[in-house]
């Protein structure tokens, strides 16, 4: 990927923030797991690469943040492609998340028409009802494993939660937020998920012999409900990170203190793309010879190729293919 420049004022501001990190945690005796991702630099990198406006940044930023949250759910080497095909003016988005820790993606319409000032962040007029598809590619798979669900397109985090409930039968809550300043700059961004684990996935106290289909006890139901309420009561993560008063660890401990949360891992997640000039040269060399000869005779020279996943522009002299 060819990194686009961030303006100096924004770079200075980003330097004052907590590092972008994904914090993975468990709590409630192993019955709940989750992850919190601070992604202010992440969203700014995404925006700079695609040169996006505010609405487009909000849509692709939310989708990318939620895509990043799927990384700790991956097993071994895995690559997820998450696509939304909608009926709204944004048309949809594609986000890819890789177990090595990078996310990339693009919005289908980079210039969404806005006919009146936005009164809220209801995305249904722009995304519309549509299909959300997860395609999982494991290291040794010949073909991806794909699943599609219908979603309403009003809220991207809610659409992700709906997918996990419908397709995976796993009760999962998502939230993501992006804070803009008065000039439209992204000054805070974060996302979090919380997932109920089966009883067989808990600690020895719960017992590996417990049937995961057994109905929850009243006590367990109460714990899960309290945790869900605590999750929903969380203030805007983008706002919290922009205020620079609390860290990711503070947020996790503060929100879920009564459930004894334990942060088990921290890892770097970056908005990045593995594309490079050599990859596109290799692609061009596989074009029909007649087309290559036409380039040599009629141009253009150099060829200009834009990576749709990251916006990088590569200029490739015809002589190199």
Per-residue pLDDT tens over the stretch 130-166: 999 999 998 888 888 999 999 999 999 999 999 999 9
DSSP state of 255: H
Percent of the chain with pLDDT over 90: 81
- Tell me the two tokens of residue 30: 């192993």
- Residue of 129 and 220 predicted with greater confidence: 129
pLDDT-derived band at 213, boundaries 50, 70, 90:
very low
pLDDT surpassing 70 at residue 210: no
- Residue of 271 and 117 predicted with greater confidence: 271
Peptide bond just before 143 cis, omega within 30 deg: no
**CA–CA distances in Å: residue 296 to residues 59, 288, 290, 300:** 40, 13, 10, 8
Per-residue pLDDT tens over the stretch 25-46: 999 989 999 999 999 999 999 9
Measured CA to CA, the distance from residue 25 to residue 313 in angstroms comes to 39
For 112, phi and psi rounded to 5 degrees? -75, 125
For residue 211, the model assigns a pLDDT of 46
Do the beta carbons of residue 4 and residue 49 sit within 8 Å?
Answer: yes
For residue 212, the model assigns a pLDDT of 44
What is the rounded average pLDDT of the residues 228-248?
A: 95
- Cα dihedral 279/281/282/286 (nearest 10): 140
pLDDT-derived band at 186, boundaries 50, 70, 90:
very high
For residue 280, the model assigns a pLDDT of 94
Classify residue 209 as exposed, middle or buried by CB count within 10 Å of its CB (0-12, 13-18, 19+): exposed
Give the least confident one: 9-23, 45-59, 256-270, 288-302: 288-302
> Under DSSP, is residue 81 helix (H, G, I), strand (E, B) or coil?
strand
For the chain, the distance separating the N- and C-terminal CA atoms, rounded to the nearest angstrom, is 20
Q: How many CB atoms lie within 10 A of CB 212?
A: 10
pLDDT surpassing 80 at residue 216: no
């Amino acid at each position: 990927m060819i990194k686009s420049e961030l303006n100096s004022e924004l770079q200075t501001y980003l330097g004052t923030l907590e590092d972008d990190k994904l914090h993975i945690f468990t709590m409630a005796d192993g019955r709940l797991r989750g992850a919190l991702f601070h992604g202010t630099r992440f969203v700014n990198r995404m925006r700079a690469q695609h040169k996006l406006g505010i609405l487009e940044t909000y849509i692709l930023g939310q989708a990318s943040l939620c895509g990043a949250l799927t990384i700790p759910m991956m097993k071994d080497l895995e690559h997820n492609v998450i696509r939304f095909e909608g009926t709204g003016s944004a048309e949809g988005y594609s986000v890819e998340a890789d177990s090595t820790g990078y996310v990339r993606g693009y919005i289908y319409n980079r210039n969404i028409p806005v006919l009146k000032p936005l009164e809220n962040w209801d995305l249904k007029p722009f995304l519309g009802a549509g299909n959300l598809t997860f395609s999982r590619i494991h290291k040794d798979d010949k073909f991806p494993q794909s699943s599609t669900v219908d979603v309403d397109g009003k809220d991207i985090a809610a659409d992700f939660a709906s997918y996990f409930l419908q397709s995976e039968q796993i009760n999962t809550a998502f939230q993501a937020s992006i804070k803009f300043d008065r000039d439209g700059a992204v000054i805070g961004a974060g996302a979090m998920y919380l997932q109920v684990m089966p009883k067989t996935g808990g600690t020895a106290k719960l017992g590996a012999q417990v049937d995961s289909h057994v109905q929850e006890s009243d006590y367990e139901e109460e714990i899960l409900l309290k945790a869900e309420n605590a999750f929903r009561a969380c203030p805007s993560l983008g706002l919290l990170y922009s205020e620079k008063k609390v860290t990711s660890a503070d947020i996790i401990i503060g929100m879920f203190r009564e459930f004894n949360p334990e942060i088990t891992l921290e890892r770097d997640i970056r908005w990045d793309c593995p594309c490079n000039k050599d990859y596109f040269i290799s692609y061009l060399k596989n074009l029909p010879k007649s087309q290559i000869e036409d380039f040599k005779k009629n141009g253009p020279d150099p060829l200009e190729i834009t990576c749709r996943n990251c916006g990088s522009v590569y200029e490739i002299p015809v002589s190199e293919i």
